[in-house]
Amino acid sequence: IQEATMIVTAIVGAAGIEPTVEAIKQGKTIGLANKETLVAGGPLITALAKEHGVQILPIDSEHSAIFQCLEGQKRDNVDSLIVTASGGPLRTWDSSKIQTATAADCLRHPTWNMGNKITIDSASLFNKGLEVIEAHWLFGFDFDHIDVVVHPQSIVHSMIQMKDGAILAQLGNPDMREPIQYAMTYPKRYPLQMEHLDFTKGLDLQFIAPRWDDFPALRLAFTVGKEGGYAPAVFNAANEMAVYALLDERITYGHIYEVVSTVLERMINGVPTSIEEVLAMDAWARQEATKEIQRRSAC
């Protein structure tokens, strides 16, 4: 770490918090692919980065797209951020069947090739909720000025809306090589040998409102983000435990939201003053989630 000038943090889950904190303290530029770091410790992480003069460059395709769209724009001219979501593999399922989805069903993502945990989160829209909270801390927009739209083709990676109504969007094939390279070479752009968009072949782009009631995790993420304090860390930790329980076939898909919302109801919220406090609350949430998972497994 002493020889590096940039650290890419791509560990899945809250396990990425401590390495990212250490890299910031070492004054390294952060290429952030671990959204949980900002979700759980947003105010502390951003304050620490400012203290050490560290730039956090987003790698997730949605946040990279917003970052690129915001470049050169006066903040006062931008009204809102529009985060796109593929909708995941359950997007077209009937409402009555969604709760019965298996881990195998959730892992059949139509456009992205991701790890199991993130793919499950994509199916439930927990992942999009985490990304909304991350966008809040990366770009400083309040939650009333962050929107989500379902875009099944995953070509438009995200957008910004200007105050006069104009929309600026970043497009590209659903391939992580583009945002990864952009973060690692920023502010320069270098040629990238891969298949790029070809408009002459025709593009059928759809944009649909999220099914808020069928995928309640997204609405819960906005609530948790606005509440702040320990709530986002608890939201993330409980979800992690529930997702891995689904992958182990100890609970069903429908239990994920139940576990997370139950743990949040038990939480006594407060304002963390250190990363250690965030990690302690993360550990508490995992213990509570484990109890709920065991209770549901026994039913």
SS3 275: helix
Distances (CA, A) of 194 to 93, 173, 206: 33, 10, 24
Backbone φ and ψ of 159, nearest 5°: -145, 165
Measured CA distances, 249 to 95, 152, 179 (Å): 22, 28, 34
Which residues is 154 bridged to in the sheet? none
* Beta carbons of 28 and 8 less than 8 angstroms apart: no
Helix (H, G, I), strand (E, B) or coil at 148: strand
Tokens representing residue 264 in the block = 């949040």
- Give the Cα separation of 120 and 118 in Å (integer): 5
Q: Which amino acid is at 124?
A: S
What pLDDT is stored for residue 223 in this prediction? 98
Nearest-angstrom CA–CA distance, 119 and 201: 29
CA–centroid distance for 58 within its chain: 11
* Separation of alpha carbons 122 and 129, rounded Å: 9
| Residues pairing with 81 in the sheet | 146, 160
Give residue 201's pLDDT.
Answer: 87
Q: How many residues in total does the chain contain?
A: 299
Instruction: Answer whether 0.85 is exceeded by the pTM.
Output: yes
Mean pLDDT by 10 residues, the chain (299 residues): 84 90 96 95 97 97 98 97 94 92 87 80 94 98 98 96 98 94 96 92 93 97 98 97 95 95 97 97 98 86
How far apart CA 62 and CA 60 sit, in angstroms, is: 6
Please tell me the predicted confidence (pLDDT) of residue 227: 97
**Closest alpha carbon to 13 in 140, 126, 141:** 126
Q: Tell me which H or E stretch contains 247.
A: helix 231-247
Which token pair is 203? 């593009």
Q: Is 1 helix (H, G, I), strand (E, B) or coil?
A: coil
Can you list the positions of beta strands (E) in 70-195? 78-85, 146-150, 156-162, 167-171
